[in-house]
A and B are shown apart, each in its own frame.
Chain A
Amino acid sequence: AQKVTQAQTEISVVEKEDVTLDCVYETRDTTYYLFWYKQPPSGELVFLIRRNSFDEQNEISGRYSWNFQKSTSSFNFTITASQVVDSAVYFCALRGAFGNEKLTFGTGTRLTIIP
């Protein structure tokens, strides 16, 4: 069985502060994929990043960075110098190996950036 836990239900930070969203996952698959999606008030899930289980190199993309720690089964997401437009619900998701197409989502973290 696969499981994704996002323990932070809601986070509020003042604009320009850095914020980290936590994600912990469980899977028995040796090959798997991790994702972060953003869901703004409009409702559409916007893909942010995919990480393969066999590639533990962390990544930075502009103000976004991701920390994948296989040893602790965590895939955390950091926004640097937050902006009001970052306000949304963020979901971490997990997909198993080839043949297992289902995305398992966490319950999401609602991020509010206070101007």
Chain B
Amino acid sequence: DTGVSQDPRHKITKRGQNVTFRCDPISEHNRLYWYRQTLGQGPEFLTYFQNEAQLEKSRLLSDRFSAERPKGSFSTLEIQRTEQGDSAMYLCASSPPRGGPRGNTEAFFGQGTRLTVV
């Protein structure tokens, strides 16, 4: 399987605990994104990496959230001191390098990590 891989698929944690999610993008995709999706809503952008550089962060990404992509390959998303409001599906996506104005720009998504904070 050469798609975007996320681990774990499900995570249940107690309020106040820290959690970390991993995303492995499609090989050779230099762009990586994290989104959050709550029930009945569309995904909301959290952050974007081009190679190892984090180029954009949403205001949704509070100080308790941190994302890394240390070698420009896999990425981790950590949530510290989880709150019940953090319960959501966390989606990772990747895209190939842009190939000019008509280059591929679609993002390919993983199956997500469903976080439940109790």
Residues of chain A touching chain B, judged by Cβ–Cβ distance below 8 Å, are: 4, 31, 33, 35, 37, 42-47, 50, 52, 54, 91, 93, 95, 98, 101-108
Instruction: Find out whether the CB atom of A105 lies under 8 angstroms from the CB atom of B43.
Output: yes
Asked, given contacts A101-B56, A105-B43, whether A47 binds B105 with beta carbons under 8 Å apart, the answer is: no
**Which residue in chain B gives the minimum CB-CB distance to A35?**
B106
* Bound CA span A107–B43, Å: 8
Asked, given contacts A95-B105, A101-B55, A102-B48, whether A43 binds B42 with beta carbons under 8 Å apart, the answer is: no
For residue B43, which residues in chain A have a CB less than 8 angstroms away from its CB?
45, 91, 103, 105
Instruction: Assign chain B's interface to a size class.
Output: 20 to 34
- Whole-angstrom distance between the Cβ of B84 and the nearest chain A Cβ: 21
For residue A95, which residues in chain B have a CB less than 8 angstroms away from its CB?
105
Taking CB atoms and an 8 Å cut-off, the chain B residues in 50-100 that contact chain A are: 50, 55-56, 58, 89, 91, 93, 98
Residues of chain B touching chain A, judged by Cβ–Cβ distance below 8 Å, are: 31, 33, 35, 40-45, 48, 50, 55-56, 58, 89, 91, 93, 98, 101-102, 104-112, 114
For residue B105, which residues in chain A have a CB less than 8 angstroms away from its CB?
33, 50, 95
Given contacts A44-B110, A93-B42, A101-B55, 13 further A-B contacts (CB under 8 A): A35-B106, A43-B89, A43-B112, A44-B109, A45-B91, A45-B109, A47-B108, A52-B101, A101-B50, A103-B35, A103-B107, A107-B40, A107-B41
